[in-house]
Every structure is written in structure tokens, then in C-alpha cells.
Structure 1
Amino acid sequence: MSLIIPMKSEREGAKLPVYGTEGAAGADLHACVGDEKIVLKPGERTLVPCGFSMELPAGVEAQVRPRSGIALKNGVTVLNAPGTIDCDYRGEVGVMLINLGDEDFAITHGDRIAQMVIALAPQCKFHWAGGALSTTERGEGGFGSTGVGA
């Protein structure tokens, strides 16, 4: 399945999202900071511009997720993971990063900073069920009720 997503450059040097492999679910998002260098100190957070805006189809969202490599190696992750970009948003895409690591993390123009997954996001009709929900084997169990580990 392939969707065509119209994109608009908002900054000079903006890069389109790119899938790293044929089977990748997430397309890499690149920092668009020009000659600027962002240094994220341990515990700091910042909004990193990606330099583009886009027009998602109705009923579709873009989820912004961490890149596993920088999360594992540097402790840098997406602050509100997954971040949601709604189909009616037309502003510049940015990524909220936080440095949970022990060392400064430098971000330069073109760095792959996060990934974006396109997902269906239908709007539902919610209604009160009058206290009558169907029963399941799990029931109200949650928050670790099925055990920890294998």
C-alpha cells in the first residue's frame, strides 16, 4: 500500500522523509537547522525543526517515534513518543527531543533524529453504554495483571 503525501519545504535545505529499507515502517526525519548546531545537554529538551509541512489525508495520522540507535547509544529520545501529527495540521513538522543520557548530544543539519510512521486514525463515535460492556476473559485486569516476563 502506498499513499502520496504532498509536502511543502518550509526551510532551505529541508529533506523529505526517507525509508531506510524496503520493509521499514518508519521514514527517517532529518534535522533542518542550516549552519546552526544544537547541543542537547543531559536532561535538556528542545524542538528540532524538520523544515517541511505536509498534507495528510483525512483519517490518517503521522506518528513521530524515536530512532532506536540514538536512543540506545546516546539516551536521546522523542519526548512525547509517539508524537501525533493530525491530518488537519499544516505547520512545520518538528521533533521534541530529550537527552536522557550522560553526555552532550550534538544535532547538525541533515542528522536523522526520529522516524515517522503513517497510520490510520479513524474518528469514532463514542457513546455511554449504560454500564453494560461485553465480558472477556481478561476483564478489568491491567497494569501488569497478566504477569511480568515470559
Structure 2
Amino acid sequence: MATATVLTPRTAHRDPRDFVTPELWNRQIHLLTRDWPWDAVMAERVFGQAVSYLITAMETWGQELELCCGRLIDIAVHNFILDTVYYREFCAQHFDGGFLEHIPEITFKYDGSVRRTAQVIAEHGFEVDWKLWERDYARCGPCRPGANCH
């Protein structure tokens, strides 16, 4: 009989703000409100989820979990990646000097990976803003199947 692996959530709450400087946080919020029709509250919600996602992707690298965020969170991920100097420094600091590459697949997959990703983020101690993630459950993301990517 096969047994299911049960993942126990971390008890400590992790704050995405602890992974970036206040200056970098504010910079990303200003870029998001400049480029998207969001107020600062929405920009902070989405960027916080993006940081939680990226840190979780780094921490689970090599486990072939096929993590991917939905299109809403991906907006903040892309904005951060485009701010290349800061994104490279963020990766170097939190990914053992490495660089977490973004390798999107051309077509979207509809396999529940967005929901699974949100669950993994929660299991890694981050608070998940479920409303932001649930929006994209049916659309899913373009991470390459079988790949370690984000």
C-alpha cells in the first residue's frame, strides 16, 4: 500500500520583507504602481507574494517541484527581474551566490501547479494571500515540466 507524504508547515512566520532591504521594497512598490493600475496596498500584496515565491523556489531548488506562480504574481516577479542589478544581488544573497533563472515555457499548463506552489510556499512558513493565488488556479503558469525553474 502506498503512503502519502505529509508535509508539516513551519511554525515560524516568515516575512518577505526580511529578504529585501526597505529601500528595495519601496523601489519595487513604486515600479509596480508606476507600471500597473494598482495602489500601494495591492503592489505590496503582490510583491510580498513574489518574494515569498522566489525564496521558496530557491530553497526547493533541485526537488523538481515544477513551481510556478499565476499570472498576477508573475507581474511582480517580472518587474523585479527587469530591475536586473537588484534582482541579481537578491539571488546572490539568497541562492548561495547563484542566479535563479526565469525559463518560461511557451504554452501554459493547466495541471494545478499554481495551487501546489501556493501550498509549498505556505509549508515554507510564508503567509499566502490566497485570493491572489486563487485567481489563477485555472490558468496556471508556464514553468517547464520536469524542470527546476520559476
Q: TM-score, normalised by structure 2?
A: 0.26
| Structure with larger Rg | 1
